[in-house]
Amino acid sequence: MAGLASLSEEDRRQFPLKTVSSVVKFFESVLKRTSEPDLALLSIIVGCIENTVTCSHQHIQLGAKSIVLTTVGEETHEKIVIEPQIKKGDDFPEIQIDMIEALYAKFRSVILSSVDLNQYGNPEFASREIVKKVSDVIWNTLTRSYYKDRAHLQSLYSYLTGNKLDCFGVALAVVAGCQVLGFKDVHLALSEDHAWAVFGPDGKENAEVTWHGKGNEDKRGQPVDAGIRDRSWLYVAGNPVICSRFTEVAALVSSINPSISATTDSIEVASLQQSMLWVLHDLNHLNYYPMALGNLADLEELNPTPGRCLCSQLFSQAIEVARRYYGNCHVYPYTYQGGYFYRNRMYKEALESWANAADTIRSYNYSREDEEIYKEFLEIANELIPFVMKVEGSGHSARSILKDSECFAHLLRFYDGICQWEEGSCTPVLHIGWAKPLVNTISKFDAQVRRHVVISCSDAEEETAPEGSDELHPHQGELDANANQVILPRPQAKEKELEAEVQAENQVLDGKA
Ligand X SMILES: CC1(C)CN=C(N2CCN(c3ncnc4sc(C(F)(F)C(F)(F)F)cc34)CC2)S1
Task: List residues near ligand X by CB under 6 A.
Answer: 167-168, 190-195, 251, 254, 291-292, 295, 332, 335-336, 339, 376
Shortest distance, CB of residue 195 to ligand X, whole angstroms?
A: 4
Based on CB atoms, which residue is closest to ligand X, 156 or 251?
251
Shortest distance, CB of residue 172 to ligand X, whole angstroms?
A: 8
Based on CB atoms, which residue is closest to ligand X, 335 or 425?
335
Q: Are 385 and 335 in contact (CB under 8 A)?
A: no
* DSSP letter string, 184-216: SS-EEEE-SS-EEEEESTTS-EEE--S--SSS-
**Which phi and psi (to 5°) does residue 50 adopt?**
-60, -50
Based on CB atoms, which residue is closest to ligand X, 326 or 445?
326
Based on CB atoms, which residue is closest to ligand X, 274 or 335?
335
Please confirm whether the linkage preceding 290 is cis (ω < 30° from 0): no
The residue type at 103: L
Which three-class secondary structure state does DSSP give residue 456?
Answer: strand
Which three-class secondary structure state does DSSP give residue 477?
Answer: coil
Based on CB atoms, which residue is closest to ligand X, 7 or 384?
384
Shortest distance, CB of residue 419 to ligand X, whole angstroms?
A: 22
Based on CB atoms, which residue is closest to ligand X, 17 or 253?
253
3-class SS string, 82-149: ECCCCCCCCCCCCECHHHHHHHHHHHHHHHHHHCCHHHHCCCCCCCHHHHHHHHHHHHCCCCCCCCCC
Q: How far is CA 308 from CA 29, 113, 303, 340, in A?
A: 21, 47, 11, 18
Based on CB atoms, which residue is closest to ligand X, 234 or 457?
234
Helix axes 39-55, 97-114, angle to 10 degrees: 130
Strands 453-456 and 486-489: parallel
Based on CB atoms, which residue is closest to ligand X, 109 or 344?
344
Based on CB atoms, which residue is closest to ligand X, 193 or 300?
193
Shortest distance, CB of residue 313 to ligand X, whole angstroms?
A: 17
Shortest distance, CB of residue 193 to ligand X, whole angstroms?
A: 4
Shortest distance, CB of residue 372 to ligand X, whole angstroms?
A: 8
Q: Which of 376, 285, 212 is nearest to 32 (CA)?
A: 285
Shortest distance, CB of residue 63 to ligand X, whole angstroms?
A: 30
Distance CA 239, CA 229 (A): 12
Distance CA 193, CA 427 (A): 18
Shortest distance, CB of residue 51 to ligand X, whole angstroms?
A: 18
Based on CB atoms, which residue is closest to ligand X, 286 or 402?
286
Shortest distance, CB of residue 338 to ligand X, whole angstroms?
A: 8
Based on CB atoms, which residue is closest to ligand X, 92 or 334?
334
Distance CA 471, CA 468 (A): 9
Based on CB atoms, which residue is closest to ligand X, 4 or 384?
384
Q: Are 221 and 208 in contact (CB under 8 A)?
A: yes
Shortest distance, CB of residue 357 to ligand X, whole angstroms?
A: 9
Q: Is 398 exposed, middle or buried (0-12, 13-18, 19+ CB in 10 A)?
A: exposed
Shortest distance, CB of residue 504 to ligand X, whole angstroms?
A: 38
Shortest distance, CB of residue 437 to ligand X, whole angstroms?
A: 19
Q: Are 355 and 486 in contact (CB under 8 A)?
A: no
3-class SS string, 242-273: ECCHHHHHHHHHHCCCCECCCCCECHHHHHHH
Q: Which of 393, 503, 405, 510 is nearest to 444 (CA)?
A: 393
Q: Is 401 exposed, middle or buried (0-12, 13-18, 19+ CB in 10 A)?
A: buried
